[in-house]
């Protein structure tokens, strides 16, 4: 069955520290992968996406993610976290082909940033 | 231009009542999606509209849920005879046809008492 797993429900890091949020997926075909961020009181915003090509993708706000097919992973990274990065982060996978546009979502990782 | 808007932002209703949630997509976006997000959960796909094609309703959890879309504009999600388990945030997203990125509205927080 298709699924997305975000193993870490909650992560706390200090401001300026590096960050890695994990995402593993189970998908029967070539996946399209996304990371979205949901800040308090705001809608979901796309951070980055992977469809094909270079497996290291750059996104907004200094985030990057690396697609590793052999590990079925798409982990999100940031070298230096800012207090404003505190939010809920969601990984999603989809086919994005034909009329089936469903995205399958992980349960999210809540990020807290200590000053 | 304006982003995706949803109304109301919050809705409190009594069990058994019907509710209507509205989504105004970004102008020109032909694709529109509804998702449900329960507390502490990821998003559940509900329904997808693309232009004049038949909508993909495969995510609707029961026949109490229905949605309509007028052309390529406003969409309404209706929940009949609401139950407490319907309490959630209902998110709407839109995109251009063939574009991968979905743009999300702020959501409607529904509480069924």
Does residue A111 sit at the B interface (CB-CB below 8 Å)?
Answer: no
Q: Does A27 lie at the interface with B, CB-CB under 8 angstroms?
A: no
Give the tens place of pLDDT for each residue, B6-59: 999 999 999 999 999 999 999 999 899 999 999 888 899 999 998 888 898 989
Domain count, chain A: 1
Which of A96, A102, A107 lies closest to B42 in CB terms?
A: A107
Mean local confidence (pLDDT), A40-49? 87
Interacting residues of B78 by C-beta distance below 8 A, sequence separation 6+: B18, B19, B20, B21, B65, B66, B67, B68
Q: Inspect the interface and report whether the beta carbons of B100 and A96 lie closer than 8 Å.
A: yes
Domain boundaries, chain B: 5-103
- Those of residues 53-82 in A touching chain B at CB distance below 8 A are none
Q: How many CB atoms lie within 10 A of CB B15?
A: 11
- Whether the predicted pLDDT of B99 surpasses 80: no
Whether A92 sits inside 8 A of B3 (CB atoms) is no
CATH code of the domain covering residue A52: 2.60.40.10
Q: Which CATH number fits domain B5-103: 3.40.50.2300, 2.60.40.10, 3.30.470.20, 3.40.50.720?
A: 2.60.40.10
CB contact under 8 A, B100 and A106: no
Domain that holds residue A61: 3-114
- Three-state secondary structure along A3-67? EEECCCCEEEEECCCCEEECCEEECCCCCEEEEEEECCCCCEEEEEEECCCCCEEECHHHCEEEE
Q: What is the mean pLDDT of residues A73-82?
A: 97
Average pLDDT over residues B84-103: 89
At A97, is the pLDDT very low, low, confident or very high (cuts 50, 70, 90)?
low
pLDDT digits (tens, 9 = 90+) for A9-21: 999 999 999 999 9
């Amino acid at each position: 069955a298709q699924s997305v797993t975000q193993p870490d429900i909650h992560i706390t890091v200090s401001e300026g520290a590096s960050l890695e949020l994990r995402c593993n997926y189970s998908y029967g075909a070539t996946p399209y992968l996304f990371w979205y961020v949901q800040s308090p009181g705001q809608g979901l915003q796309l951070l980055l996406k992977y469809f094909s090509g270079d497996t290291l993708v750059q996104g907004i706000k200094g985030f990057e993610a690396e697609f590793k097919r052999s590990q079925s992973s798409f982990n999100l990274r940031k070298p230096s976290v800012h207090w404003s990065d505190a939010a809920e982060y969601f990984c999603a996978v989809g086919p994005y082909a034909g009329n089936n546009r469903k995205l399958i979502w992980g349960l999210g990782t809540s990020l807290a940033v200590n000053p | 231009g304006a982003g995706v808007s949803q109304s109301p932002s919050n809705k409190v209703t009594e069990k058994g009542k019907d509710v209507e949630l509205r989504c105004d997509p970004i102008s020109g976006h032909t694709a529109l999606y509804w998702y449900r997000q329960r507390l502490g959960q990821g998003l559940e796909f509900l329904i997808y509209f693309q232009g004049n094609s038949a909508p993909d309703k495969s995510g609707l959890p029961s026949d109490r849920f229905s949605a309509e879309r007028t052309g390529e504009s406003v969409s309404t999600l209706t929940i009949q005879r609401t139950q407490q388990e319907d309490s959630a945030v209902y998110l709407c997203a839109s995109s251009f046809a063939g574009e991968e990125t979905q743009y999300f509205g702020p959501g409607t927080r529904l509480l069924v008492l």
